[in-house]
Amino acid sequence: MARKYFGTDGVRGKVGEYPITPDFVMKLGWAAGKVLSKKGTKKVLIGKDTRISGYMLESALEAGLSAAGLKAILMGPMPTPAVAYLTRTFRAEAGIVISASHNPFYDNGIKFFSADGTKLPDEVELAIEAELDHELKCVDSAELGKAVRIDDAAGRYIEFCKSTFPSHMNLEGVKIVVDCGHGATYHIAPSVFRELGAELITMGCAPDGLNINDGVGSTAPEALVAKVLECNADLGVAFDGDGDRLIMVDHSGYLIDGDEILYIIARDALRNGRLKGGVVGTLMANMGLELALQTLGIPFARAKVGDRYVLEMMEEKGWRIGGENSGHIICLDQTTTGDGIVAALQVLTAMRCAEMPLAKLRSGMSKFPQVLVNVRFAEGKDPLTAEAVQQEVAKVEQELAGRGRVLLRKSGTEPLIRVMVEGESEQQVRDMAQRIADQVVSAF
């Protein structure tokens, strides 16, 4: 079945435009309640990021869940991974997050976690979509769900995050700049690092409903780089709007992306005998990560782009470390989903264990230059099947001789072919990417 509403990370769009409207979100809450109500606890947790539209959508979800006979437990602004964690600890039927992650404030979305704190499998999302085709019918008045707010959700999650850092270690003497992007981690991350002993400089911790991800956070790290250099900090950490991804900066201002974070965490796990299997990245993971792990004897596998697909492959292989170069890092020995704060603490653990600064920890991996060219094509056409395109790709792969990669894929949201080439020489891969793009253009 084709999906009508769910993308790779829930339902998302511009607020006020279908489907991110109060009436649709209310029915979505009702449909999800009908499908997910299996354990008998009849409780669903709802968290949100700091967008102004979160108030409206929270009320709509509450009404829909109540109509389905479920109790809504409202937590207010909470990181996405916190909702995943607390869904398990509350033994809830499901967790719901109102967030559009790294998008601007005028977008929003709804994403779901199962009772186990994992993203919903495809078949469950399709079941919710099928329920949306039915008429909304309320349960009897005596069976309507209630809504309650919990006040200690933040404290519970702060303690969980701290528990993922070794109890015999602390962060005394480490100066960290923490940028929360005016998002859901604004009242969580500073407390975690400060209570572990770090000297803290904070940014992006004053949300007003409109400034989430605006010039700060993991998708706009320039401000973090400048602050790390200005304050002579040991490192910086930036989170996105809902706290499930991060970017780090070393003392020199060098940006450390998700691939390098995966390398640091995996190497530390290997050194300490905690590595189970290998590492899962995505089709977009830099080849430098693959070769660096190969040097260490650590297996590496690529999943489709999207943290849900990374998690699926991790579970299939029984591996515990995976993620995306965008900064979604999943540490299954610690939690069930991508968690920016937990991932940062694993890197800090590696720093403490190795007694090395962040700059030296990441030096074992060299990223290959990677060039991405977007080529627009006419609807109904498929340039990827054109013989000239396939021949050019084969020619480029032969020239790279195993020291680079070519990846062509269609955008999931617009008629674009994304041509990606990576290799050891930036000028070479730039020329190669353009050669393939030219063949894609000429194919139609």
> Which residue, 236, 242, 198, is CA-closest to 12?
242
Active-site residue, selected from the candidate residues 101, 114, 218, 326: 101
CA atoms within 13 A on the CB side of 142: 0
The pLDDT value recorded for residue 108 is: 97
Pair (264, 284) in one structural domain: yes
d(CA 38, CA 35): 8
The pLDDT value recorded for residue 296 is: 97
In a domain? residue 6: no
Average pLDDT over residues 96-114: 96
The pLDDT tens digits of the residues spanning 147-166 come to: 999 999 999 999 999 999 99
Low-confidence winner among 88-97, 119-128, 172-181, 354-363 (lowest mean pLDDT): 119-128
353: tokens are: 């264990």
Average pLDDT over residues 53-80: 97
User: Catalytic site residue 366?
Assistant: no
Q: Is the pLDDT of residue 413 over 70?
A: no
d(CA 38, CA 124): 12
The pLDDT value recorded for residue 403 is: 87
- For 287, the 3-state DSSP assignment is helix
Owning domain of residue 81: 11-151
Pair (171, 301) in one structural domain: yes
The pLDDT tens digits of the residues spanning 255-306 come to: 999 999 999 999 999 999 999 999 999 999 999 999 999 999 999 999 998 8
Pair (239, 259) in one structural domain: yes
With cut-offs at 50, 70 and 90, classify the pLDDT of residue 218: very high
45 forms beta bridges with 73, 95
Which of 328, 347, 364 corresponds to the end of one domain? Answer: 364
Question: What is the sign, positive or negative, of the torsion defined by CA atoms of 278, 304, 48, 83?
Answer: negative
Pair (291, 384) in one structural domain: no
Pair (339, 244) in one structural domain: yes
Q: Is the pLDDT of residue 137 over 90?
A: yes
Pair (119, 182) in one structural domain: no
The answer to whether the bond into 221 is cis (omega within 30° of 0) is no
In a domain? residue 3: no
The pLDDT value recorded for residue 342 is: 98
- For 385, the 3-state DSSP assignment is helix
The pLDDT value recorded for residue 382 is: 80
> Which residue, 130, 122, 73, 123, is CA-closest to 96?
73
Number of domains into which the chain is organized: 3
Pair (316, 196) in one structural domain: yes
Which of 325, 347, 364 corresponds to the end of one domain? Answer: 364
For residue 234, what is the domain's CATH number? Answer: 3.40.120.10
Give the residue carrying structure tokens 């994403």: 111
The pLDDT value recorded for residue 1 is: 58
d(CA 138, CA 143): 9
Percent of the chain at pLDDT > 90 equals: 88
The pLDDT value recorded for residue 238 is: 98
Pair (199, 267) in one structural domain: yes
Look at phi and psi of residue 46 and say left if phi exceeds 0, alpha if psi is from -120 to 50, else beta.
beta
* Average of per-residue pLDDT values in the chain: 95
The pLDDT value recorded for residue 149 is: 95
In 10 A of CB 408, how many CB atoms? 18
Average pLDDT over residues 420-437: 95
Q: Is the pLDDT of residue 38 over 90?
A: no
Is residue 208 a known part of a binding site?
no
Q: Look up residue 286 and give its amino acid.
A: N
Pair (137, 165) in one structural domain: no
With cut-offs at 50, 70 and 90, classify the pLDDT of residue 178: very high
Pair (50, 161) in one structural domain: no
With cut-offs at 50, 70 and 90, classify the pLDDT of residue 415: confident
Contact 298, 311 (CB under 8 A): no
d(CA 292, CA 382): 35
Q: Is the pLDDT of residue 412 over 90?
A: no
Q: Is the pLDDT of residue 379 over 90?
A: no
The pLDDT value recorded for residue 171 is: 98
Which of 294, 329, 364 corresponds to the end of one domain? Answer: 364
Is residue 244 a known part of a binding site?
yes
In a domain? residue 331: yes
The pLDDT value recorded for residue 414 is: 73
- For 338, the 3-state DSSP assignment is coil
> Which residue, 47, 118, 110, 108, is CA-closest to 83?
47
Cα 55 to Cα 58, 61, 138, 421, 437: the distances in Å are 5, 10, 23, 43, 45
In a domain? residue 73: yes
In a domain? residue 1: no
Average pLDDT over residues 185-191: 98
Q: Is the pLDDT of residue 169 over 70?
A: yes
Cα 7 to Cα 57, 110, 135, 301: the distances in Å are 18, 10, 23, 23
For the entire predicted model, the pTM comes to: 0.93
With cut-offs at 50, 70 and 90, classify the pLDDT of residue 380: low
Task: Could you list the beta-strand ranges (E) of 196-334.
Answer: 199-203, 235-239, 246-250, 255-256, 279-282, 300-303, 321-323, 329-331
Is residue 234 a known part of a binding site?
no
Q: Is the pLDDT of residue 221 over 80?
A: yes
Give the residue carrying structure tokens 């850092």: 165
d(CA 14, CA 24): 13
Is residue 9 a known part of a binding site?
no
- Sheet of 246-250, strand order: 199-203, 175-179, 235-239, 246-250, 255-256
In a domain? residue 305: yes
With cut-offs at 50, 70 and 90, classify the pLDDT of residue 410: confident
DSSP-derived pairing of the beta strands 175-179 and 199-203: parallel
In 10 A of CB 14, how many CB atoms? 14
Low-confidence winner among 85-99, 114-128, 211-225, 376-390 (lowest mean pLDDT): 376-390
11: tokens are: 């339902």
Element spanning 130, H or E: helix 122-132
Q: Is the pLDDT of residue 116 over 90?
A: yes
d(CA 327, CA 306): 11
Percent of the chain at pLDDT > 70 equals: 98
Pair (113, 163) in one structural domain: no
Contact 245, 238 (CB under 8 A): no
Pair (87, 229) in one structural domain: no
With cut-offs at 50, 70 and 90, classify the pLDDT of residue 350: very high
In a domain? residue 2: no
Q: Is the pLDDT of residue 16 over 90?
A: yes
- Rounded to the nearest 5°, which phi and psi values hold at 400? -70, -25
The pLDDT value recorded for residue 409 is: 87
d(CA 335, CA 342): 8
